[in-house]
């Protein structure tokens, strides 16, 4: 099975600039992964979404790189998954583009 969580959007503190450390900004997270569905065992995508939001809000990352690596590690620790793809975007940081980082 392949799970896609697309355009998970929320506000959090992320970034190294002074204004980014004071005011929450919108981020968009996209996640996909494979898992083996057996014996009616499934991965609750609501739990995964909440784990991502909670981690981002509590940790207040400075760098997207740290956020992506930390989220990937935590997701893999909590769920038996394969082929994790993770992308975090800051759509409002620049006026003429969306800044993203993916793993």
CATH of the domain at 15: 3.30.1130.10
**Number of independent structural domains in the chain:** 1
Whether the predicted model's global pTM rises above the 0.85 cut? yes
Domain extent for 53: 2-102
Residue 72 CB-density burial (10 A; 0-12 exposed, 13-18 middle, 19+ buried): middle
pLDDT of the chain along its 103 residues, tens only?
899 999 999 999 999 999 999 999 999 999 999 998 877 788 999 999 999 999 999 999 999 999 999 999 999 999 999 999 999 999 999 999 999 999 9
Pair 90, 56: CB distance under 8 Å: no
Tokens of 62: 């400075």
């Amino acid at each position: 099975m392949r799970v896609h969580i697309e355009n998970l959007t929320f506000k959090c503190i992320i970034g190294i600039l002074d204004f980014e450390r004071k005011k929450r900004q919108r981020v968009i997270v996209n996640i996909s992964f494979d898992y083996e569905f057996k014996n009616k065992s499934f991965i609750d995508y609501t739990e995964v979404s909440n784990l991502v939001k909670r981690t981002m809000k509590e940790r207040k990352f400075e760098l997207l790189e740290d956020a992506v690596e930390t989220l990937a590690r935590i997701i893999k620790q909590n769920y038996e998954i394969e082929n994790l793809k993770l992308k975090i975007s800051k759509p409002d940081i620049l006026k003429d583009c969306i800044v993203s980082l993916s793993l």
